[in-house]
Structure 1
Amino acid sequence: MISIIVPVYNAEKYLNRCISSLLNQTYYNLKIILVNDGSIDNSKKICENAAKKDSRVKVINSVNEGVSLARNKGLKRASGDYVSFVDSDDYVEPGYIEKMLLTLKKKKVDIVYCSAIVENINGVFIQREYEKNKLIKIQNYDWNSSEAHCVVRGALIPKWVVSDLKFDKKLFVGEDTYFFAQCIKKVKCVYCIKNPLYHYVIYDKSVSHGNSINRLVTEIYAWQKIAHLFNNNDSAKVACAMRCKKMLLENQKNKVFKNLYYEDIAKIYKNYFIIVIKYFLARKKIDSAIKNCIFIILIDVNFRY
């Protein structure tokens, strides 16, 4: 038995596609948990209709409390041996579950995650996440590499791993990154599948791309937690620093960000600066090291002006 948790909020335009992709899995023994997080469109009706048509679909209706608490409610209802997370505006390939489960057993690993096709609302291809299969021992997990999986979607996780974990409701962006980090902290090795079994759809009003700056900055707090969780792994600190750098660059003209958050996030970056330079030099990425040396000089200039 595998439980698939789907948080749902005002997803009527995409929900049928998502549910259909789950019901049409080549692996049948599923429990599909649709958590309707207080939707005010037709999402509730779509969920309940799906449950009437297929006994594998279970619906949880609640008031709107956010994606973290919605996923937590789904976790409470999860049963079986493994869990997987799918977002209601995304969809998966027919072999999504079966291929990950077979890989997990064949490779004798703890967690498996797959590549995804990133596309826009019109189905136009943007990018593919992973280009090769790879077994990764957690002691060698590089959080700043292109192979690092930093989300919960597109993964198959043993039920025992998540049994005592919860999504942090104080994090509005990066909550799934921190949750997945806690998962892999508990295991010995993971496996990356290059096959794009998941379709990640980006659209303007999605939670992770349409938040106010006050919510967006919680991504940095999530990465600070990960850096602390993996205290002996410098790549986690580098990944945190790179998120800080990205946020500083993207919001340098945002007055709210500059007044409330710029200085604190710049400080986090500075704290990890030496580790960042050592990380890139050790990998012979001289250009990246130089760019970060230039950036740390520009931080204070941007703050003053």
Structure 2
Amino acid sequence: MSKITMIVPVYNGEKVINRCIDSILEQSFKSYSIIIVNDGSTDNTKRKLAKYSTNKRIKIINTKNQGVSAARNLALHYVSSEYVGFIDADDYIESNYLQDLFNGITTNKNIDLSVINFNKKNLEGSLLYQSNYTSGIMDAKRFIEYVLRFDGPGGYLWNKLFRRKIICDNFLHFDTELSIAEDLLFCIEYLKECTTVNIVDRCGYNYIVSQEGITGSGKKKEKKEKFLHNYRLALKKIRNILDKDYLGARLECEARIVQVDGTLLRSEHNKKNKVELRVEIRKYLNSFKKSDIISFKQKIVLICSVYISYI
């Protein structure tokens, strides 16, 4: 039985899926298997995956389109390995990626999650940014706060390695109601069941940024608003599971909610919705003010948008 199972959901990824899967097959660490969920692709993804049909490491599941959360949940049913990782079909990994994550999570028996750094690249492969997290072993409660900080490692799945037992024992799954930040919610729920986290000072994941943005007018504006509303819903769900034992993490989550609400408020025209947003901003405003990674200028702009009716 393999030590690690990598889950790869894909939808209309004909141009990128082979690069992604081939990068897993080129790993220096050899005790792994791959589950690919073709989430109802309408392009040639299924044909591109056919080349792996005889590879004993790889299981391919073709299903109707239900979204990335449902695809990951489906794959989790088939996992029997001790550890689980996730890769997005658009991205690819360096040859030591699995070895670095495995070394990180097996440093001692109390480590329940390992994390590595990542490269952000454009479609041409040019490096745009490289993360540089504070490395070392960290208490899981403290790491939740770090994840929720704007300058933290985020709730990405693809730069982490998880223990299957924690996922199974706590019936953890991806929220199919969410299309944004479902990974962040999953990570927070997982971390609440953890003891410690190991942040490894290695960089092995290549995150590819599409040229398509979510700003602008027309459909892009609608896409941005949909993104923000979904992100807000995810943050509220996270806020609801953070009790008084997670005060620092709760502050960062509430600060994020206020920032999203402020952005939505500036483009909202419905009077009832404006009132709702202002009420929520006032509710969490103290957390927003206390956050040390939000600039003074951002705080002033947000406060003005709440208390000056014509802004």
The alignment partner of 1:193 has SS state of strand
Separation of aligned partners in 1, 2:205 and 2:273: 34
- 1:158 is matched with which residue: 160, 163, 180? 163
Separation of aligned partners in 1, 2:5 and 2:188: 20
Residues 214, 278 of structure 1: CA spacing in aligned structure 2 closer, same or farther, 3 A cutoff? closer
- 1:119 is matched with which residue: 121, 130, 135? 121
The alignment partner of 2:203 has SS state of strand
- 2:251 is matched with which residue: 219, 222, 238? 238
Separation of aligned partners in 1, 2:227 and 2:134: 34
The alignment partner of 2:257 has SS state of helix
- 1:201 is matched with which residue: 194, 203, 208? 208
- Letter paired with 2:125: G
TM alignment of 1:11-50, pairs within 5 A = 11-50=13-52
Structure 1, unmatched stretches of 5+, are: none
Task: Answer whether contact 2:141 2:191 (CA < 8 A) is retained.
Answer: no
Residues 128, 235 of structure 1: CA spacing in aligned structure 2 closer, same or farther, 3 A cutoff? farther
The match for 2:77 is 76
The match for 1:58 is 59
Question: What are the superposed Cα offsets for residues 33-65 of structure 1, whole Å, 9 maximum, x if unpaired?
Answer: 00000001111112232232x210110101111
The alignment-based identity, stated in percent, is 25
The match for 1:168 is 175
The alignment partner of 1:171 has SS state of coil
Question: What are the superposed Cα offsets for residues 133-189 of structure 1, whole Å, 9 maximum, x if unpaired?
Answer: 122102323221533431211110000121111111111101110011111110011
The alignment partner of 1:98 has SS state of helix
The answer on 1:188 being equivalent to 2:195 is yes
Displacement, 1:190? 0.6
Separation of aligned partners in 1, 2:209 and 2:183: 16
Separation of aligned partners in 1, 2:178 and 2:185: 9
The answer on 1:10 being equivalent to 2:12 is yes
Say what the alpha-carbon RMSD is for the aligned residues: 2.6
The match for 1:228 is 240
Displacement, 1:196? 1.5
Question: What are the superposed Cα offsets for residues 237-287 of structure 1, whole Å, 9 maximum, x if unpaired?
Answer: 33333433443455556457x66855444433322221333443xxxx7x8
Compare 125-134 and 72-81 and name the one that shifted more.
Answer: 125-134
Residues 20, 289 of structure 1: CA spacing in aligned structure 2 closer, same or farther, 3 A cutoff? same
Separation of aligned partners in 2, 1:45 and 1:19: 14
Separation of aligned partners in 1, 2:131 and 2:277: 27
Separation of aligned partners in 2, 1:244 and 1:261: 15
Displacement, 1:206? 8.7
The match for 2:217 is none
- 1:149 is matched with which residue: 150, 154, 169? 154
TM-score (norm 1): 0.87
> How many residues in Structure 1 have an aligned counterpart in Structure 2?
295
- Letter paired with 1:238: L
